[in-house]
Amino acid sequence: MDLSHRVLQVLIKQEIQRKSGYAIQVDEEHLRVQLDTIQSELNAPTQFKGRLNELMSQIRMQNHFGAVRSEERYSVDAELLREIKQHLKQQQEGLSHLISVIKDDVEDIKLIEHGLHDSVHMRGGMLS
């Protein structure tokens, strides 16, 4: 995964050089807007905290009702529980990696925008 990420970084830098001096295309602008939206969602901790609090209260309610109806209790096999924990850990690692990649991509897009902005100003200075 590390090598593919490095290759992607090289391709990004190569594409920045190739596109230098050209206006941002419509699909690139849409991609930037989508990435900005994702970034703002990730930076809004209340959304995820609210969902987590909601789930915790549901678990507490289930535990309370479970104590009332002890004859309806379920048991989970230890191996199944271990597999569930492993799966959740992998999901969390995947999400962390995805967040990291998105943050890197947002930084790259900002760099591209900055380069394009400087290029436009340089061309404007040449035309005057």
Query: What integer pLDDT is reported at residue 72 of this predicted model?
Result: 55
- The rounded distance, in Å, linking the Cα atoms of 12 and 24 is 15
Per-block average pLDDT, block size 10, for the chain (128 residues)?
A: 84 85 86 87 69 82 70 74 90 92 94 86 66
The tens digit of pLDDT for each residue in 66-99 reads 665 555 566 778 888 899 999 999 999 999 999 9
Backbone angles phi, psi at 74, to 5 degrees: -115, 150
Instruction: List the structure tokens of 33.
Output: 């807007």
- 100 within 8 A of 4, measured Cβ to Cβ: no
